[in-house]
Amino acid sequence: MCIKSIILNAYSLAKHMPLESLLPVTLLTGFLGSGKTTVLNHLVRTLPRTAILMNEFGEVALDHQLLEKMDGPIALLSGGCVCCTISGSLSPTLKNLWMARQKGDIPKFERVIIETTGIADPAPVLDNLLHDRWVNARFRLDGVVTTVDAVLGEQQLDSYFEAVKQVAVADILLLTKSDLASAAAVSALKTRLIELNPAAEIVPVTHGELDPALIQNLGLWNAETKSIEVSRWLKEQRYKPAARGALGAAPAPQSEGHDQRIHAFSVVIDEPIDRFGLQSALQMLTSFRSEYLLRFKAIVNLQGEPQPVVLHGVQHVLYPEVTLDAWPDDDHRSRFVFIVRDLEPAFVAKLLDDFTHAASGTLAPASAQ
């Protein structure tokens, strides 16, 4: 399916499904041994009316929480929680869980937490969640939570690019086992994490214990304030502005270290931009460079459309487009933030400039060298 169809279909759906009516989904990821399951055990005890989706029941200590093991992959826990194993792909599991909730077979859970395996790339899980029209008419992604081992995190980031990607797509980073690492090691790891993902909050966690409020309301919609909070979600001020470069620039050469392959930056376009040009630029990035595009967020001023549009994507996966009722502040420029790998920020900035201006029949500003 072309990117234009994806955007228009998602927009049509999102337009009729207010964010506040959708059940929030949190994706909990983290590399093997990073304390993800310990965090999940704590959340099971402290977040009532939550549905937990995982690969196997045995990964979470349910002994003191288990009230009833039902037929099939569902177990009822204390506090109105539900635990469900993922059977096959994610979409059928969410559908079955929703139908059981509607029929009253299980408590009416208010949120979902999906635990990925330790070596999982979060992008396919997000793809499964966001590209099923039935699912995204009932659920919304609230945020991605990544656990990082304070003791072994540096080594894992050096050795496994999957660990780097898990950090790059996170909305919040839980720094586990920080009580077992030296202050110098924790400080060095935090500096590295900020370089990889400037917008993600870093929260030290001991024995998996944390305020559950920290992992909620990470997305565009804040259920606590019952409002859309663009500035809190976008955080473009934390990203370095990208310089403009030649459109034909090749991707950045792959260097030895994983971190050197990652670039986090912002792009600002002053004038209203053409929708078709934007769709063409995003199509190039998501179709031909999807392996390079880890994550992007944007609030966009489109020509002929008085209301701003919010976009969000992970690799080739685009979230449903959201049209806001009004601009959140006096800044009506289009603002993008990107986290990419093996791709020069200048190339992305110039791509957006050239495609959006070419489609509108105007010339892009001269490159700043």
pLDDT at position 265 is 95
247 CB-near residues (< 8 Å, 6+ apart): 347, 350, 351, 354
% of the chain beyond a pLDDT of 90: 42
pLDDT at 333: 96
Look at residue 25 in the predicted model and tell me its pLDDT: 93
Local confidence band at 346 (pLDDT 50, 70, 90 cut-offs): very high
Residue 201: per-residue pLDDT: 95
In angstroms, how far is the first alpha carbon of the chain from the final one?
37
Please report the pLDDT score of residue 205 as a whole number: 94
Q: CB–CB of 313/290 below 8 Å?
A: no
Q: pLDDT per residue over 7-56, tens digit each?
A: 334 333 334 457 778 899 999 999 988 988 889 888 888 888 898 888 65
* Better-scored residue on pLDDT, 15 or 320: 320
Query: Residue 189: what pLDDT?
Result: 97
Q: Mention every residue, 6+ apart, whose C-beta is less than 8 A from residue 106.
A: 70, 74, 76, 82, 97, 100
Strand partners, 27: 114, 144
What's the residue count for the chain? 369
Structure-model confidence comparison of residues 287 and 171, the more confident one: 171
30 touches 147 (CB < 8 A): yes
Question: H/E element holding 191?
Answer: helix 183-196
Confidence of residue 167 (pLDDT cuts 50, 70, 90): very high
Superfamily of domain 229-360: CobW-like, C-terminal domain (3.30.1220.10)
Q: Which fold has domain 19-222?
A: Rossmann fold (3.40.50)
Q: Is the pLDDT at 290 greater than 70, yes or no?
A: yes
Residue-level pLDDT at 246: 59
Domain ranges of the chain: 19-222, 229-360
Average pLDDT taken over every residue of the chain: 81
Distances (CA, A) of 240 to 134, 303, 314: 38, 26, 20
Asked if 23 contacts 111 with a C-beta cutoff of 8 angstroms, the reply is yes
Least confident range of 58-72, 135-149, 230-244 = 58-72
- In the predicted model, what is the mean pLDDT of residues 282-300? 86
Q: How far apart are CA 40 and CA 359, in angstroms?
A: 48
Predicted confidence (pLDDT) per residue in 230-279, tens digit: 888 999 999 999 987 655 554 555 555 667 788 999 999 999 999 999 99
Judge whether 148 and 174 are in contact, CB under 8 Å: yes
Do the Cβ atoms of 247 and 357 come closer than 8 Å? no
* Residue 90: pLDDT band with limits 50, 70, 90: confident
- Domain 19-222 matches domain 229-360 at the CATH topology level: no
